[in-house]
Amino acid sequence: MLSQLPTFTDPNILVGTKTADDAAVYQLTEELAIVQTVDYITPVVDDPYACGAVAAANSLSDVYAMGARPIFALNVVGFPAGKLPLRVLTAILQGGADKVREAGASVVGGHSIDDPEPKYGLVVTGLVHPQKVVTNAAAQVGDDLVLTKPLGLGIITTGIKGEQASPKTIDEAVHVMTTLNNTAADAMIEVGVNACTDVTGFGLLGHLHEMTSGSGVGARISLSAVPVLPEAWTLVKKGICPGGTKRNREALAGKVTWAPEITDEGQLILCDAQTSGGLLIAVPKPKSAKLIERLQAAKTLAAARIGEIVADTGQIEVIP
């Protein structure tokens, strides 16, 4: 879709629309570039404060995925004024503001419109050294792939909407979605990696496909190595699955080779549309043990080596 729009050729654009990266990067000086991204979502859980925190963690994540540090943010709000009490909006914005503060950044304004369905997210601006930008388009053959949060959030939030998820599972999913990717990004910057993306709406394999096609490589993933929230398996086996997850799998048809042992449910888990998922990092193999050690020391929710980058076959191979 974007390919039909006019292209911009300002030489200071370090990361723009040529690749499917998480955020735009614009060089200001030899030593400084700004990173900017916008993201907004519809509510994923009932609690408005938690919704705000999830949306903010999700928006901040695209800055962390570029190896950058967020400095300030603007709210983007759609709200059905007159249909929902204003205290709901206040709680959403409070959840977002507290999360941005936790990230060491500030909310400095925003814009709202009357909208029948509530929506919330942020424009986030960050800073990075121009030579230290981490894109999703520089993975190298032989890199290990490391994931920093468990999968299953799309299936679980669909279960929550259908009142099929236990209170414990709801708490766990909110905890995962409101956890910032800041410490994972710190570990990745310290160790030095080749590529990174966060795992959100296109699911693990959709975002991995953006990375492999952008980098001109292939990948192999082992399902048993991928961290998954246990109740996501229970729910998907009952047939609970968001439409977006099924569309992700369809969009990858012909691009993924599934080993015969991978069940329908396993395929859906790997394509599950995440909100505020973890970082997917391509790290040179000699550094991957150090990265995992640093992630574990930072207590990230997962620190799993889930596969590797292989020579370009135009395919992602999924093995048990």
Considering the complex, state which of residue 66 and residue 177 has its C-beta at the smaller distance from Co ion: 66
- Min CB(279)–Co ion separation in Å: 9
Cβ atoms < 10 Å from Cβ of 196: 29
Q: How far apart, in Å, are the Cα atoms of 118 and each of 79, 170, 307?
A: 5, 20, 38
Q: What is the DSSP letter of 228?
A: B
Nearer to Co ion, 198 or 231 (CB): 198
Q: How far is the CB of 105 from Co ion (least distance, A)?
A: 16
Q: Token pair for residue 1? A: 């879709």
Query: In the complex with Co ion, which residue's Cβ is closer, 43 or 266?
Result: 43
Angle at CA 291, nearest 5°, toward 203 and 73? 55
Query: Taking Cα atoms as reference points, which of 128, 141, 120 lies closest to residue 50?
Result: 120
Are 86 and 120 in contact, with CB atoms under 8 Å apart?
A: no
CB 279 within 8 A of CB 198: yes
Quote the least distance from Cβ 86 to Co ion, whole Å: 28
**Least distance (Å) from Co ion to the CB of residue 25?**
9
Task: Please identify, using beta-carbon distances, which residue of 169 and 248 lies nearer to Co ion.
Answer: 248
- Nearest residue to Co ion on Cβ basis: 22
Question: Which is nearer to Co ion, 138 or 165 (by Cβ)?
Answer: 138
Shortest distance in whole angstroms from residue 207 CB to Co ion: 7
Beta bridge partners of 40: 121
Name which of 155 and 280 has its Cβ closer to Co ion: 280
Residues that bind Co ion (CB under 5 A): 21-22, 39, 62, 65-66, 135-136, 198
Is 55 or 262 the residue whose CB approaches Co ion more closely? Answer: 55
**Min dist. Cβ of residue 237 to Co ion (A):** 29
What's the closest the beta carbon of residue 290 comes to Co ion, in angstroms?
21
Per DSSP, the residues of 239-296 read: T---HHHHHHHHHTTTTEEE-TT--HHHHHHHHPPPSS--EEEEE-HHHHHHHHHHHH
Q: Which helix (H) or strand (E) holds 86?
A: helix 86-102
